Structure 1
Amino acid sequence: MRVTFIHADGKGRTEAEAVPGDILLDVAQAHLMPLEGTCEGQMACSTCHVIVAREDFDRLPPASEEEEDMLDLAAGARRTSRLSCQVVLTEALDGLTVHIPGESRNMQGAR
């Protein structure tokens, strides 16, 4: 399956291959996207915040109340924001497009 990351500058894009069951944050980090994921998926931070393309947002399962609370703290959060550590990829999400927030540009997510 395919995931497209739109770079924080809005100009670049990275096409990534994933398999069902992968966590979106792991796929992003494997492709050197600047998402930190400081809490390692425990929903104790918002450093893995992404903005899901409007046309793809309704394909995702709803965010939990805990995720919504963390998104309230995310810089630049929008209606279609999600924590990438909480998005488990499925075949139904093939072709998902997510935008890396401009606030992520200065993070050191590359391994």
Structure 2
Amino acid sequence: MPRIIYHNGTAEPNVVEAADGTSVMRAAVANDVPGIVGECGGQAMCATCHVYVRAEHLDLLPEMSEDEEEMLECTAAPRDEKRSRLSCQIVPGPGLDPIEVDVPADQI
């Protein structure tokens, strides 16, 4: 089970053990991680699951789709050209376990 570590400005990060095949967004919503909304349910259509992926994991991520790229232009928090991703599009697995993300203060 992949481990996902969410940093959201509190003293302690939220650490979640996710079932295989579970996106970073779905794991957050299922475990009440603050700051991840996921209004569209993981369809890359809303940008309410925006996260900043920690630098050490960036090279392990799949390439960004055109839909994800477009939605990242609509984020409530400022986009970081290198680190911003939609957490619904990240599914941890071999080589990407654990993964650490920073959750922006605003999603809506």
Q: TM-score, normalised by structure 1?
A: 0.84
Return the alpha-carbon distance in structure 1 between the equivalents of residues 37 and 11 of structure 2.
21
- Compute the displacement of 1:10 (Å): 5.2
Question: Quick one: structure 1 residues 70 and 38, their matched pair in 2 at CA, closer, same or farther if it must change by over 3 Å?
Answer: same
Return the alpha-carbon distance in structure 1 between the equivalents of residues 55 and 25 of structure 2.
19
Indicate yes or no: 2:81 matched with 1:103: no
Q: Could you list the per-position Cα deviations for residues 37-58 of structure 1 after superposition, in whole angstroms to 9, with x for gaps in the alignment? A: 1111222210011110011111
Percent of aligned pairs with the same residue?
A: 37
Q: Give the secondary structure class of the aligned counterpart of 1:58.
A: helix
Indicate yes or no: 2:48 matched with 1:63: no
Question: Of residues 67, 79, 83 in structure 1, which corresponds to 2:86?
Answer: 83
The number of aligned residues is 104
Return the alpha-carbon distance in structure 1 between the equivalents of residues 19 and 43 of structure 2.
22
Contact map agreement 1:19 1:90 (CA 8 A) in 2: no
- Compute the displacement of 1:2 (Å): 1.2
Structure 2: which amino acid aligns with 1:96? I
Structure 2: which amino acid aligns with 1:98? V
Contact map agreement 1:20 1:91 (CA 8 A) in 2: no
Could you tell me which residue of structure 1 aligns to residue 32 of structure 2? 32
Return the alpha-carbon distance in structure 2 between the equivalents of residues 90 and 20 of structure 1.
7
Q: Which runs of 4+ in 1 moved over 4 A?
A: none
1:7-22 paired onto structure 2 within 5 Å: 7=8, 9=9, 11-22=11-22
Q: TM-score, normalised by structure 2?
A: 0.86
